[in-house]
Amino acid sequence: MRFLREWLLRLFPGRADSDLESEMRFHLEMETEAQQRTGLSPEEAGRQAVLRTTTVASAIEHTRDQRTFPWLSGTLADLRQACVGLRRQPGFLAIAATVLTIAIGANTLIFSVVNGVLLKPMPYRDPERLVNIYEWSERNPKFPLSMLNYLEDRRQSKTLESIALYTGGEMELMHGDRPERLPAVRITHDFFPTLGVQPILGRNFDESELKGSARVVILGHKMWASRFQSDPSSVGQTIRLNRENWTVIGVMPPGFQHPGGSYRSPLQGETVDLWCPLGMDLPEKGLRYWHFTNAIARLKPGIPLTAASQDLNLVMDDLNRRFPDAYEKKRARVEPLAAEVVGKSSWTVQLIMAAGFLVLIVACINIAGLCVARVIARRSELAIRQALGAGRWRLIRTVLAENMVLGILGGVAGLVLAAVAIPVLRTVLPANFPRIHEIRMDAMAGAFAVVAAVLTSLFAGIIPAFRQTMSGPGEGLSSTRVTLPGHGIRSLRGALVVAEVALACVLCFGAALLVRSGMELSARDHGFQPANILSFQIQFPRKTYNSGKSIIAFSNEVLRRWREVPGVVAVGGGSTVPWTGYNDNTSFDIPGRPAKPGESIQARFQRATPGYFEALRWPLRSGRLFDDRDRDDSKPVVVVNDVLVRRYFDGADPVGREINFFGKPRRIVGVVADVRDLPADDIAEPAVWMPFAQEADGGMSVVVRTASDPIATVPRLREALASLDRELPMSELRSLDLVAAAALAERRFALLALQSFAGLGLLLAAIGIYGLLTYIVQQRRKEIGIRIALGASGEALLWMVTGSGLRLALAGVVSGILMAPLAGRAMKAMLFGVSAADSITLIAAPLVMLAAALIASAVPGWVAARSQPMTALRDQ
Amino acid sequence: MANKDSRPAILQGTLDLMVLQTLASMGAQHGYSIAARIEQASGSALELNMGTLYPALMRLEQRGFVKGKWGVTENNRKARFYSLTAAGSKQLEREKAGWEQTAGTIQRLLTEEFS
């Protein structure tokens, strides 16, 4: 306390003691001289002077008291006393501080997530002016922008400062003698200026370099540092990418973050190693029809989203007039970049924020219950203070000082707890969670911890403080010998416990809803079986595999060799692996079935080799799967899925019918089951597969079904690939279980968070009940002793105490059930297959709460039942 | 506030008024001369010891009514001189008015009692 006082004095400087002392010494000298003038000897004059004006030391002492602000010294005294008082009550201090620490730790952790993911501005110049732009249509509300749209937006719009296109991919870097695949993004020349950055070395792309044939590249800073040892002469050098020579023309600054994108883009963050120019030299139709680029734009200062959207829709109207085939029924859609980056994860963040806040309230109520008991223990002390003339405010301040000290302790401890937990949290969060790199302990989170802790603690103390100081001193003094606390106090603590139980019940309900969603989800028919499947990517560099024929020949051969690897059950290749969110659409037409008004006939387009569906155990509904008969010189065929049949063929078996797909009439030979883009999606989208041999592509996702552990076969598979092409890497190697886990990771994280919070709420509520009952048993020792002496059975006493606890719990649970559907509705976006007021959950969650309450009230009941009447009676 | 001798105790609040008034009428003064002036004006009835005077000066300084500054006396000795600030002049007017009212009230009370 002394230290605190000194520190505060330094904050509010008065005058230094030495300064005061010399002033007073002068005063004393003047007085001494005056005395001497009356004829006294110098010694006598000095003595008289001191008599008349006191000593310097004593005067300084008096003056110093004047120096600090009176309220400050009063508060300091209160705090000092609070420290002493708390030290004498280690039990109260330990429980209250622990409860506060855990609640604040959890909430600080959540705050660091909220701050990093939602609040912190994106690391670009004026980030609030950055937007993503899409083409909107009924079926595809967020369609990638066509290049013509970009060009026209750039030419005509009046609200955009600049607009740029970008699309992600991977490139194969040959550095030394090992090939590796690096994340790359193709961009237009205005991409970096739109974000407000430029290379720290070299230059940006030129508009004239936006060609498929351009071989210039800008390096990401991390990659430049790790592979080129930050050598400035890298700029101008030639590197091997996709087996061709590319010239490095620039290096991006350290810490530059890719903005992310919803369409084939690495995540937001320092996730990109290579930037190359986006080829704009497409065939004329491609400019309108091909949609594969994200668009980012910077609004002019002061332009609201609605104005930008209106402006871009004027451009869209113009495109509509000129090219109705490509732009009919399309609108421009403008979304703020920050919201796009966070996406659906903001639901998760908000859910855990709400749950964390509930835990904080429960903790606050819990501490309030403890404070009521603490204030009652101090009743006589407070009454004496009041009798001696302390005002009401002074009393409240005295009581709250303990809460202040408690709050500071809890805040600092909670801050430490959160700081330790943040690295752990990062490992628990799904790897693709937005802005994970921004989640850290910083000054904001630290300030949050301490402020939240102090406020929580003060709130907890305020009701008991007011309650106690409302009465006159007489009550407190006269009741010091009465062991039974007033009815009012008990009902106040009871009400607090009821509230705690109700909130904990709501938390349990929320967690149980997510558990039920998870169960529904895993019980769902996913359309294929993910166990024991290995998946990986291979890309065929254009330099070596320059024609469809060479790709097909190679892939046929490598698939054949893989099939012969021991342990492999089935192998196939396709455009994608299920549950990775693949959503490339194309429109097509069905002869004899014109599109209905407002309908656009579209489907996901994919390729598959023979063995692909078999490896995934993807059920065939009718017709056949692809086999070796489907070659580039045979009749073009396709396989479609169930939902396509339902949507466009009214459910009639389409096998044998033809559709015009990808520029050719193709015959439908089979129908397979529906698989959703992501496991928790509501519905599957129509999809069409073409045989890889008839429509070769530059890359392939390979799926390998194995008899046992899929990872064990990797070396043999790699050997087989190397025997054909030593330089070709296998990338994104993982088991399909892992793909499925990744697709569900965020849901799992939300469940884990909510379960922890529900557990915490349950524990706090149980502690609240236990604390109250223990307190009552303690207070009623004498009465209980008399009851036992008079022959009350232990069982009866057990029920008396336990019953009173259960009654409170029951009241809390009933209020909890009333609030639960509200909570359920708030988390609707996270639910799957259960309603917001799911009846099973509505019964199960309160039962769990009641079970906890039973245990918490049985322990004090048991203590009461076993108490010895003589000890109880003698104790007083 | 109890005084060892039978000298009159300083009524709470009046010391501030006295100090302010002294500074207003005599200009900047050091602590000793303020004390000497008050003592003189009271006909030696009031003797201010340092333990009373300096807390008052510090209080007034903290509230911004006076301002202390080191300077040199006519005898060429270093002393801390106090002067009235603008806020101090206003405060003096307020306190004066308050005092006159109080004094008037007491005066009336006393005279009524004797009449």
Q: Which residues of B touch A62 (CB under 8 A)?
A: 51-52, 54-55
| Contact (CB<8Å) B32/A30 | yes
DSSP code of A115? I
Among A634, A580, A563, A640, smallest CA distance to A608 is for A640
A271 backbone dihedrals φ, ψ, rounded to 5°: -110, 0
Kindly state the average pLDDT of the residues B102-106: 85
CATH number at residue B53: 1.10.10.10
> What does the pLDDT look like over B76-103, one tens digit per residue?
888 999 999 999 999 999 988 888 888 8
B55 touches B18 (CB < 8 A): no
Per the domain annotation, does B23 fall within a domain?
yes
Among B26, B37, B23, B15, smallest CA distance to B87 is for B23
Per the domain annotation, does B6 fall within a domain?
no
| Contact (CB<8Å) A52/B80 | no
Q: What is the mean pLDDT of chain A?
A: 87
Task: State the nearest Cα–Cα gap between B48 and chain A, in angstroms.
Answer: 7
Per the domain annotation, does B48 fall within a domain?
yes
| Contact (CB<8Å) A59/B51 | yes
Q: Which residues of A touch B62 (CB under 8 A)?
A: 14, 66-67
Per the domain annotation, does B30 fall within a domain?
yes
| Contact (CB<8Å) B54/A58 | no
> Count of CB atoms within 10 A of residue A567's CB?
16
Q: A769-772 long-range CB contacts below 8 Å, 24 or more apart?
A: A769/A497, A769/A501, A769/A805, A769/A808, A769/A809, A769/A853, A769/A856, A769/A857, A770/A856, A770/A857, A770/A859, A770/A860, A771/A95, A771/A366, A771/A369, A771/A370, A771/A373, A772/A369, A772/A493, A772/A494, A772/A497, A772/A805, A772/A808
pLDDT of residue A178: 73
Give chain A's contact residues with B (Cβ, < 8 Å): 14-15, 20, 22-24, 26-28, 30-31, 34, 52-54, 56, 58-59, 61-63, 65-67
Structure tokens at B12: 């709470």
Per the domain annotation, does B3 fall within a domain?
no
Task: State the nearest Cα–Cα gap between A62 and chain B, in angstroms.
Answer: 6
CA-to-CA distance for A374 and A81, rounded, in angstroms? 15
CA distances from A127 to A131, A145, A158, A339, A716 (A): 9, 21, 19, 11, 49
Q: CA-based Rg of chain B, rounded to a whole angstrom? A: 16
Which residue is listed with tokens 């451009």? A315
Task: State the nearest Cα–Cα gap between B24 and chain A, in angstroms.
Answer: 21
| Contact (CB<8Å) A53/B49 | yes
Sign of CA dihedral A267, A272, A277, A281: negative
CA-to-CA distance for A666 and A36, rounded, in angstroms? 126
| Contact (CB<8Å) A54/B49 | yes
| H helix runs in A713-793, sequence order | 714-722, 736-779, 781-789
CA-to-CA distance for A844 and A404, rounded, in angstroms? 39
Among A641, A635, A517, smallest CA distance to A578 is for A641
Among A233, A251, A103, A214, smallest CA distance to A763 is for A103
Query: Which among A53, A66, A67 has the least Cβ separation from residue B50?
Result: A53
Query: Which among B31, B52, B78 has the least Cβ separation from residue A27?
Result: B31
Question: Which residue type sits at A663?
Answer: G
Among A697, A451, A466, smallest CA distance to A584 is for A697
- CB contacts < 8 A, A to B, total 60
Query: Which among A28, A52, A67 has the least Cβ separation from residue B47?
Result: A52
| Contact (CB<8Å) A24/B30 | no
> What does the pLDDT look like over A298-320, one tens digit per residue?
999 999 999 999 999 999 999 99
Task: State the nearest Cα–Cα gap between A499 and chain B, in angstroms.
Answer: 48
Which residue is listed with tokens 């659906």? A344
| Contact (CB<8Å) B80/A26 | yes
Mutation target to probe the A interface, by most A beta carbons within 10 A, among B16, B29, B49, B72 is B49
B3 backbone dihedrals φ, ψ, rounded to 5°: -105, 145
Pairing of strands A274-277, A216-219: antiparallel
Host domain of residue B106: 15-114
| Contact (CB<8Å) B47/A30 | no
Per the domain annotation, does B93 fall within a domain?
yes
| H helix runs in B1-115, sequence order | 14-26, 31-41, 50-62, 86-114
B75 touches B33 (CB < 8 A): no
3-state DSSP call for residue A539?
strand
| Contact (CB<8Å) A23/B49 | no
Find the closest chain B residue to A70 by CA distance.
B59
Query: Which among B54, B78, B80 has the least Cβ separation from residue A63?
Result: B54
User: Taking the model in full, what pTM does it have?
Assistant: 0.72
| Contact (CB<8Å) A59/B47 | no
> What does the pLDDT look like over A258-275, one tens digit per residue?
999 887 888 899 999 999
Q: Kindly give the parts of chain A with pLDDT less than 70.
A: 1-16, 64-74, 139, 470-489, 872-876
Query: Which among B36, B47, B54 has the least Cβ separation from residue A24?
Result: B54
Task: State the nearest Cα–Cα gap between B81 and chain A, in angstroms.
Answer: 10
Q: Which residues of B touch A24 (CB under 8 A)?
A: 31, 50, 54
| Contact (CB<8Å) B55/A66 | yes
pLDDT of residue B1: 39
pLDDT of residue A587: 82
CA-to-CA distance for A344 and A333, rounded, in angstroms? 18
Task: State the nearest Cα–Cα gap between A10 and chain B, in angstroms.
Answer: 15
> What does the pLDDT look like over B9-52, one tens digit per residue?
566 568 888 999 999 998 899 999 998 888 888 887 777 888 88
Q: Which residues of A touch B79 (CB under 8 A)?
A: 23, 26
Task: State the nearest Cα–Cα gap between A37 and chain B, in angstroms.
Answer: 15
| Contact (CB<8Å) A26/B77 | yes
CA-to-CA distance for B6 and A261, rounded, in angstroms? 90
Find the closest chain A residue to B31 by CA distance.
A27
Q: What's the distance, CA A143 to chain centroid?
A: 26
A301 touches A210 (CB < 8 A): no
Per the domain annotation, does B28 fall within a domain?
yes
Find the closest chain B residue to A64 by CA distance.
B55
pLDDT of residue A209: 94
Question: Which residue type sits at A835?
Answer: S
The number of folded domains in chain B is 1
| Contact (CB<8Å) B51/A58 | yes
